[in-house]
Amino acid sequence: MNAKESPKILAKLKPARAPLSKKLFVYLIDDDPHFRETFLDVMSLRGIEAKSASCGVEALKELQISRPAVIIVDVRLPDIHGFDLCRLIRRMDGFQTIPLVLLSASFRYNDPRDQVEGLLAGASIFLSKPITMENLWMEIDSLLKRGR
């Protein structure tokens, strides 16, 4: 073996080094295709892995096989109310401490009593739409930093 061959052979023998930190994964459940697309694009630009679902049933299936760091749930979904979806997610094994963000564009849910109901359903925070992606990211980042 000569000096030129040794790095090639060593490279074949050494396992690839694992990244120091796991890539952040967030999951959005929202029936608005434009909001989902914008969210996924913005997260991708930030180097964050993101997936989305347009309804609760689709989301529950995906969450059986993946475990995001944060889950964002729209209150008004076509198949299940966001509060009920939060309750179902909280009952899943390993999902009790994952931050859940509830979003609502409806003025109906701007009442503090509805926001309290969302928090009691398991949400970590309740936000109103319209919301900029920058403000949504700031809220997500804050939840991650404080651990829920």
Encode the chain (148 residues) as per-residue pLDDT tens digits: 444 443 443 344 333 333 334 689 999 999 999 999 999 999 999 999 999 999 999 999 999 999 999 999 999 999 999 999 999 999 999 999 999 999 988 656 567 787 888 989 999 999 988 899 999 999 999 999 987 5
Write the single-letter amino acid at 74. Answer: D
Written as six digits, the tokens of 134 are: 């920058």
Whole-number pLDDT of residue 147: 72
| Eight-state DSSP code of residue 96 | S
Tell me the C-alpha distance between 12 and 6, whole Å: 10
Give the residue extent of every domain in the chain: 22-146
Whole-number pLDDT of residue 23: 82
Q: Which CATH number fits domain 22-146: 3.30.70.1450, 3.40.50.2300, 2.60.40.2220, 3.40.50.300?
A: 3.40.50.2300
Whole-number pLDDT of residue 20: 36
Write the single-letter amino acid at 69. Answer: A
* Beta carbons within 10 angstroms of residue 53's beta carbon: 20
Tell me the C-alpha distance between 111 and 140, whole Å: 22
Q: Which residues pair with 4 in a beta bridge?
A: none
Q: Exposure of 10 by Cβ count < 10 A (0-12 exposed, 13-18 middle, 19+ buried)?
A: exposed
Distance (Å) of CA 68 to CA 75, 78, 97: 19, 22, 11
Whole-number pLDDT of residue 110: 66
Whole-number pLDDT of residue 22: 64
Distance (Å) of CA 92 to CA 61, 97, 98: 12, 11, 11
